[in-house]
Structure 1
């Protein structure tokens, strides 16, 4: 895979689904987690809880998408509609009335298809052999892309045109990047190449290699792959005058569209990655929240006025979803707005975003930053709550008298006073409701359409981002990280880089 030779006698890398497990049921793969249940019972109603968990414990059906720019697109679609729809239904004994293969009703032009079978079943079931070989061959040459159904949704809401410059901030493994390139080329006039392009970025160099392997099937020149931290994605310069190189006019490149599909806890993928059941805990989502905010803010700063950005995750956790969107709207102060796309793709079953939620840390629930004890404030951030806030405001507005030695790191602390400051029974706090129109966000849940779970928010930039003064800082070693980091202007970022280079000690010539 990486160009090196495989050691003699060693097996290829183990496949999760094909791993050898004991045939007995003495040690089955766990598909339950009490902490998961306690957390999400506050989000899903008791009436639908059983249906939700039951679907989560079943394998995820396979799905794929036909490349709309392939010259064989119509032939492949016709073969699916007139051959495989009937042959698979006849060959496979159905336990219910569900069709073996069917087009996704919400995807345009019957170009995306949904199977009743999981990827493991496709490989193991002999009656599906011909269809499985068809999928492998067409995927290898780029005529189709095997992709989870809900993962296909974000690019459809981005409204990409052939002249757009698109930034995919966290692009690997590349299925959404491939989809963006398809849309870019399809919106171009016949016989012409797109004026726009896609810049696909990922932090991990190995995942960048996977991204290149995925997208090279497209055979396009309108793609650049970069390897940067998304929250520190550098500013780019655009040459306006190509004829006279000595008089080039260089402008900052701002993007027409930004896809911000951030790293997340991934509990929306439990059906295809059941090992996540035993690993799941609230700390993962809480720990990623601040990074997600910084990536989204950097994306907003690189977006043109009038441009559109998608923020998405494959998580169901409001701390990674609605809380991040609310914090971005809060920091941008009216420069970014949530777009109502409820009338787009009407056959896609979606749920509105949440406007209220609680924060959990190590089994303790908090409804406001007012009731977070001091020792938890490095983990539970004010931005995680519906109405945000800050801990300085908490100290100044708190109705309870707290002694100085309790809020400092001094050794002389009274345990009774600490208990009084932390006990939520003593402090009656009202559950917060966000002032932002978070119901415009979309939640795709597994038991609505037999899919994985996904969160999507469509944001539009209506004016330039204002300068935000932030006093709260968190020191990490010698580096100081501000709460507004990731919102730098591209030109200012380049000036910072130049200053940093000028301060670097010169390396003596060898």
Structure 2
């Protein structure tokens, strides 16, 4: 999950603390962890090592109500979510040893590991991911812990470690490989990765721009990888330096406040005899993998089970919108942006996408990419959802108490409409819809000739945007993690976009 955002000074510190947390695939807590030191009520003895709890009633209630999966699928969904995440890795497509490594996997390890298929697992010990091009990404039937602990898997584990250190492969969660594939990156593109750490997606983007180049030559493209936290930037550099590329810039900024950059036009663009002007740098592609609650990573970070509550998604929603809108403002007209999270929560996903489209007006389109990567099992985005706040389900912003309106904002709801309380002529309180221009209209019950329709709208709002074009990947479809992805195309400048975002000569 990306970690390049914050909210002002205090928000930045909060985000830094949150995203410094280790997300290793660790399924047991050390004895030094106070939460693991459960005491036996009968004899007072310390139980020592305890596995993570893999259930949370609040989680179950929330996602059953949201309809992320059908009631018939719920048991299968939860069963897979409680199992450790299988290891996955990707071959560096720009490596000179790419074909040799792929051949070794196909002709050696696929056969030699057959006897080590984990109990109750898939028939193949390792297999290429069917949706990733050219057999360059692989799914292992073993968790990372099994690879470390099982002596018979030692040769395979040592192979993975060595090739990862050299930079020939990258160990990466399978669903995390998906967003860069929908960016449609070419070698001459300028790409911004807004929340880049730990860097596996950045490495993937670098692979793409380098792949078609001859040995010793450099592509015209560039990847700018940004992250909020300095320590995570160091991790990002450590991850990407294996690429040995000059086409990477690492920056350390809050993603929602990423600064404008200046670039000189080449002489060929303006004529050899003229002095190249300095212009605002805008990007051909933007990857916006925003900070999120991270409940799509439960299989590799089971400590999230006990920490999870609905307020996590509500709290990060405004920041996600800010980062996405900043990404769109830095995107060229005609460019493509991918918004993604490792969360299943519609408040962090569909609600953010709807608000992006709302603010973008007709300048931004949500692209239908259902025909791309046809073997990737994905589900369409939701058109309706509810908000959970302080133990209450809220179907509309109208239902939010005046004391919570600063926290539960209109953009969280499917319609995006805001409401305000006001006194009528008789001194009674009524609720009126608040337009974007700040003016209040009559009570929503009086805004239509059909009261039954309004009553239904109060019970369940439905978004007007084509949110089914988004994609949600859930764990039990492909034995992986969960992810959400939306792809945007920028047709024209955003409403109110500053003129300096266009190519202008500096006087």
Q: Report TM bin, short chain.
A: 0.7 to 0.9
- TM-score, normalization: structure 2? 0.82
Alignment correspondent of 1:33: 56
Alignment correspondent of 2:484: 455
Mapped contact 1:234–1:490 kept (Cα < 8 A): no
Alignment correspondent of 2:110: 85
Structure 2 residue ranges without an equivalent (≥5): 1-21, 32-36, 38-45, 432-454, 503-507
Pairing 1:104–2:132 present: no
Q: How is 1:338-487 mapped onto 2 (pairs within 5 angstroms)?
A: 338-392=366-420, 395=422, 401-402=428-429, 429-467=458-496
The structural deviation recorded for 1:378 is 1.5
Mapped contact 2:131–2:375 kept (Cα < 8 A): yes
Q: After superposition, give the CA deviation of every residue in 1:332-363 in whole Å (9 maximum; x if it has no partner).
A: 11110001100000000000000000011121
Pair 269,93 (structure 1): closer, same or farther in 2 beyond 3 Å: closer
The structural deviation recorded for 1:27 is 4.5
The structural deviation recorded for 1:98 is 2.3
Alignment correspondent of 1:412: none
Q: Distance in 1 between matches of 2:243 and 2:403?
A: 51
Q: How is 1:326-337 mapped onto 2 (pairs within 5 angstroms)?
A: 326-337=354-365
Pair 306,93 (structure 1): closer, same or farther in 2 beyond 3 Å: closer
Query: 139-148 or 25-34, which moves further after superposition?
Result: 25-34
Alignment correspondent of 1:233: 258
Pair 104,372 (structure 1): closer, same or farther in 2 beyond 3 Å: same
Structure 1 residue ranges without an equivalent (≥5): 1-12, 405-426, 468-486, 493-510
Alignment correspondent of 2:249: 224
Pair 390,403 (structure 1): closer, same or farther in 2 beyond 3 Å: closer
The structural deviation recorded for 1:379 is 1.2
Q: Distance in 2 between matches of 1:309 and 1:381?
A: 25
The structural deviation recorded for 1:28 is 3.6
Q: How is 1:46-445 mapped onto 2 (pairs within 5 angstroms)?
A: 46-92=71-117, 94-95=119-120, 98-188=123-213, 192-240=217-265, 247-392=275-420, 395=422, 401-402=428-429, 429-445=458-474
Pair 188,277 (structure 1): closer, same or farther in 2 beyond 3 Å: same
The structural deviation recorded for 1:192 is 3.6
Q: Distance in 2 between matches of 1:266 and 1:398?
A: 48
Secondary structure of the corresponding residue to residue 391 of structure 1: strand
Pair 14,389 (structure 1): closer, same or farther in 2 beyond 3 Å: closer
Pair 34,79 (structure 1): closer, same or farther in 2 beyond 3 Å: same
Pick 1 or 2: higher relative contact order, CA cutoff 8 A, min separation 6: 2
Secondary structure of the corresponding residue to residue 264 of structure 1: coil
Query: 107-116 or 85-94, which moves further after superposition?
Result: 85-94
Secondary structure of the corresponding residue to residue 103 of structure 2: helix
Q: Distance in 1 between matches of 2:116 and 2:297?
A: 30
Mapped contact 2:23–2:300 kept (Cα < 8 A): no
Q: After superposition, give the CA deviation of every residue in 1:186-226 in whole Å (9 maximum; x if it has no partner).
A: 14466642111000000000000000000000010000000
Cα root mean square deviation, aligned: 2.8
Alignment correspondent of 1:8: none
The structural deviation recorded for 1:326 is 0.3
Secondary structure of the corresponding residue to residue 429 of structure 2: coil
Q: Distance in 2 between matches of 1:223 and 1:442?
A: 29
Q: After superposition, give the CA deviation of every residue in 1:237-286 in whole Å (9 maximum; x if it has no partner).
A: 11125799994411111100000000000000000000000000111110
Runs of 4+ in 1 over 2 A off after TM superposition: 13-28, 90-98, 187-192, 241-248, 394-401, 487-492
Q: Distance in 1 between matches of 2:259 and 2:213?
A: 29
Q: Distance in 2 between matches of 1:157 and 1:104?
A: 16
Q: After superposition, give the CA deviation of every residue in 1:16-65 in whole Å (9 maximum; x if it has no partner).
A: 45654589699442111111011000222211110111111000000000
- TM-score, normalization: structure 1? 0.81
